[in-house]
Structure 1
Amino acid sequence: MKTLYLDAFSGISGDMFIGALLDLGVNFEQFQTELAKLHVGDYRLRHERLAKNSIYGTNFDVEMNDEKDHGFIEPHDHHHHDVRHLSDICSLIDSSDLSAKIKKQSISVFTEIAKAEAAVHQMTLADVHFHEVGALDSIVDIVGCFIALDLLGVDDVGASALTDGSGFIRVAHGQMPVPVPAVMQMRIGTAIPIKQRTDIQTELITPTGMGLVKEIVSHFGTIPEDGVLLKTGYGFGKRDTGSFNALRALLFETKKSRQTVNTDHDEVLLIEANLDDQSGESLGFAMDQLIDAGAFDVFFTPIYMKKNRPACKLSVLCAPEERDTFVNLLLKHTSTIGVRYQVMQRSIMQRQFKKVETKFGTIRVKVARRDGVVKQTAEYDDCACAARTHGVSLAAVEQEVRRQLSDSLNQN
């Protein structure tokens, strides 16, 4: 499971988001190919990896072709473009060859912004005229955000509190206070946290950025404690803030064994292969690769094959939709030339996680429940880390966790 965490210490905009995802490794050629499905012309994408404040990141721009000047105008100079209504934008996106998911997400963001503009300017949704966000480069920005997110294969998105500036900026409607009215309107009825920096006299959160956050971010908080950090990326902003103006994106991978489970039944795929010509070391390596790829479980069973040859049966449990991934890994990392598989039904306990404070530090505990039966198990990795840090045995840490759990139960 891949989790994207947005560290919005300098706000968020569409171009910053795309820049950050390109910096994380989204293939630019693939990105262009998918964006071409929007079927709009007269624009050019530009990306450049460069250093700001000695930190490397990616600068992303959509440059529009100005027919009057027969050249390219400055990025995001929206005053050269025609205004558009929400219905125009929805029709443009709906008529594209984009996936249904990307169409839905893109239209949702535009609808959020339109609702905010309608409320701010006291008009009907149908009468809202888009200026900055309605320009073609902003349409490319918003659709591009969801294309990049899809190409990165992200399952969940979290974020820090958003940071905005202060003062005033000039837009199509005239002079606006920061945070701009549309951003504040979109915040109504949400728990989206926004911190304001009075030392920065400009906008850091754009309506596009706020609409994007409302659509994709499922939770706000500090940098995730769980999971393996795979990569860090930076997408640069265009405004001169006097500070490091970038959106930092952190890509984490979380093992399935640490995910919350809210059902008491599901389906798994069992993939098996018989192996009689592979060393124990290479089998251990194969197991590590399968676990790291997100298998629910991997195990070996001693067997005897034809001519009474000793061998082992390698079994992998995974999600049914991940069949091709694990079949390819088995073929790559073992000597087998074929595998067998079957879908199996499981009855399982619902699973959640909690943290227990001990004298050895914070330890995560897995809590499984079903029909009145409760099981609590300390996470091995946390216990092992605490044991190494404090120079005690693993059993001592596990005993301390059990004591804390028992004390908590007695108090309740």
Structure 2
Amino acid sequence: MKNLYLDCISGIAGDMTLAALIDLGADLGYILEHLRKLPIDPFELEVEPVEKRGIAAKKLLIEFPAQERQQPSPTYLFKMASHDDHQHRKAEDILQMISDSLLPERVKQRSMAIFQVIAEAEGKIHGVDPKEVHFHEVGAMDSILDTIGFCLALENLEVDEIYASPVPTGQGKMKMAHGLYPIPAPATLELLKGIPLADLQVQGELTTPTGAGILKALVKDFGPIGAVKIERIGYGAGHKDFAHPNVLRAVLIQKERDREREKIIVLETQVDDMTGEALGYVMERLFEAGALDVYYTPVYMKKNRPGTLMTVLVQPDEAGRCEEVLLIQTSTLGVRRSEWTRTILDRRIVSVETPYGKIRVKQAIRGGQVLHQAPEFEDVAQLARQCELPFQEIYQEALNLASQRAVK
């Protein structure tokens, strides 16, 4: 499994991430081939070698020959529509363009995830529906190329998971479309909720909405690089010059075995005065809040009263939401929280074509080997009803076909 570590030593921006991955070894020809198939304005994209305070890096250059190039604030990519809507692109239209494109499926998913979180952040700041958020035309083109180009570079490098360091944002104020705003920009700060920040005292913007969107949508975990095997390193340069190297460092890594352990939060509380129906409702709300697993254990409490121990497994970022559900939706007076680690297997869904119809099969994988697998219950049950055949007969047929594919 190939993984990427983004070392945000000077913040992060869309152009820096794409340039860093090209410096890392992503094929620019592959990226351009796919970008030129999109229904967007003609563009020229290239990278040039630069030096930033003694560090050799790549800098991204984008030009649009068909339009007069202006310099909108790179920190304020989205804004509300005005009377000249023909100069704007709706976030909804950009998402639809990506969905309808011939881009690789994982590139679509990653690109849409980034645009979606940025649209949601901008929509919240401006008080509008995320679908109605508009891109300024030139800023939209830059962001489309940076974002989709970055996701294409990930695909070209066969990157599966992304990790990142804490990120500095810069400080001060800057002029934007609606006036003088603090740094980080409001939408950037909204996107950075839950992401650890680094302290770097620099006047100016270091992290842009697109950069923050990449972190929010795609990064699995934040922290030091940890125990890994480093394969390659690339540097992407920003356009500004500071007293420090204005670069983003991208590191292609291979996880060591102990890094396969995933950090999770375990929440626990126990109650003795709730009905089974109420507990079932709470479980539904916990899963809606992001719980990985929820289970109830019969226990004896004070005065020998039978009660229920409620246990919730959840990712650190979602722990607060699940804790709130327990405090509001149950009769508990407090919730215990502990940090655990767990070893998990890689998972994937494959589809097999049986004589009865298509069935999805969930597979658990380690080191490229399928350790165990199981057909999806709903798929099997639906076909069993339609064909009026025993459930187990269809289940076993799907399992046999999946096993034959795994051996090949």
Q: TM-score, normalised by structure 1?
A: 0.59
In the alignment, which residue of structure 1 is the partner of 2:208?
206
Deviation at 1:233, TM superposition (A): 0.8
- In the alignment, is the contact (CA less than 8 A) between 2:114 and 2:218 conserved in 1? no
2:344 aligned partner, one-letter code: N
Task: Tell me the distance in 2 between the aligned counterparts of 1:20 and 1:265.
Answer: 29
**Matching residue within 197, 200, 206 for 1:197:** 200
1:11 aligns with 2:61: no
Q: Supply the distance in 1 between the matched residues of 2:135 and 2:105 (Cα, whole angstroms).
A: 24
Give the secondary-structure state (helix, strand or coil) at the position aligned to 1:12.
coil
Contact 1:9 1:247 in 2 (8 A): yes
What does residue 93 of structure 2 align with? 88
Offset from partner CA, 1:319-375 (integer Å, 9 cap, x none)? 37xxxxxxxxxxxxxxxxxxxxx8779xxxxxxxxxxxxxxxxxxxxxxxxxxxxxx
Map of 1:304 onto structure 2: none
Structure 1 residue 36: deviation in Å? Answer: 1.9
Given the alignment of the two structures, is residue 262 of structure 1 paired with residue 351 of structure 2, yes or no?
Answer: no
Q: Output the CA distance in 1 between the equivalents of 2:65 and 2:71.
A: 10
Any idea what the Cα deviations from partners look like across 1:164-183, whole Å, max 9, x if unmatched? 10001122232211111001
| 2:275 aligned residue | none
Secondary structure of the 2:204 match is coil
Distance, in Å, in 1 between the alignment partners of 2:20 and 2:30 is 16
RMSD: 3.4
Q: 1:164 is matched with which residue: 138, 160, 169?
A: 169
Pairwise CA distance, 1:58: 0.7
Instruction: List runs of 5+ in structure 2 lacking aligned partners.
Output: 262-342, 349-365, 371-403
Q: Distance in 2 between matches of 1:224 and 1:85?
A: 40
Instruction: Report if aligned partners of 2:172, 2:182 keep a CA contact under 8 Å in 1.
Output: yes
| Mapped partners of 1:120, 1:14: distance in 2 | 21
Query: In structure 1, what is the equivalent of residue 53 of structure 2?
Result: 53
Shift of 1:138: 1.2
| Higher deviation after alignment, 86-95 or 244-253 | 86-95
Q: Secondary structure of 2:136's partner?
A: coil
Distance of aligned partners of 1:208 and 1:264 in 2 relative to their CA distance in 1, 3 Å threshold:
closer
1:240: which partner in 2?
241
Q: Residue by residue, what CA displacement relative to the aligned partner does 1:136-181 show, whole Å, maximum 9, x if unpaired?
A: 1211111111101111111221111001100011222322111110
Aligned positions of 1:1-400 closer than 5 A: 1-67=1-67, 69=68, 82-131=87-136, 135-188=140-193, 190=194, 192-198=195-201, 200-226=202-228, 228-254=229-255, 259-260=260-261, 261-262=343-344, 318-319=368-369
CA distance in 2 between partners of 1:43 and 1:76 (Å) = 20
AA aligned opposite 1:61: L
SS in 2 for 1:47: strand
State the Cα distance separating 1:256 from its structure 2 match.
6.8
Post-superposition offset of 1:85: 1.4
CA–CA separation in structure 2 for the residues paired with 1:237 and 1:11: 9
Deviations 1:71-97 (A, max 9, x none): x66798789992221122122222321
Assess if the C-alpha contact under 8 Å between 1:234 and 1:248 holds in 2. Answer: yes
Structure 1 alignment gaps of length 5 or more: 267-294, 297-317, 321-341, 346-412
Deviation at 1:125, TM superposition (A): 2.5
Give the AA of the match of 1:94. S
CA distance in 1, matches of 2:223, 2:128: 35
In structure 1, what is the Cα distance between the partners aligned to 2:131 and 2:346?
46
Distance (whole Å) between structure 2 residues aligned to residue 102 and residue 110 of structure 1: 12
Instruction: Say how many residue pairs are matched.
Output: 272
Mapped contact 2:89–2:137 kept (Cα < 8 A):
no
Residues 179 and 262 (structure 1), Cα distance of their counterparts in 2 relative to 1, 3 Å cut: same
**Which residue does 1:360 correspond to in 2?**
none
Task: State how far apart, in whole Å, the 2-side matches of 1:108 and 1:22 are.
Answer: 22
Q: Contact 1:85/1:134 (CA < 8 Å) preserved in 2?
A: no
- Answer whether contact 2:227 2:259 (CA < 8 A) is retained: no
Contact 2:18–2:150, Cα closer than 8 Å, also in 1: yes
- Distance in 2 separating the partners of 1:137 and 1:150: 20
Change (3 A) 1:134 1:58: closer
- The C-alpha deviation readout for 1:114-155, integer Å capped at 9, x for no partner, is 111121122232432223885212111111111011111112
C-alpha separation between the residues in 2 aligned to 1:122 and 1:42?
33
Matched with 2:303 is none
1:195 aligned counterpart, secondary structure: coil
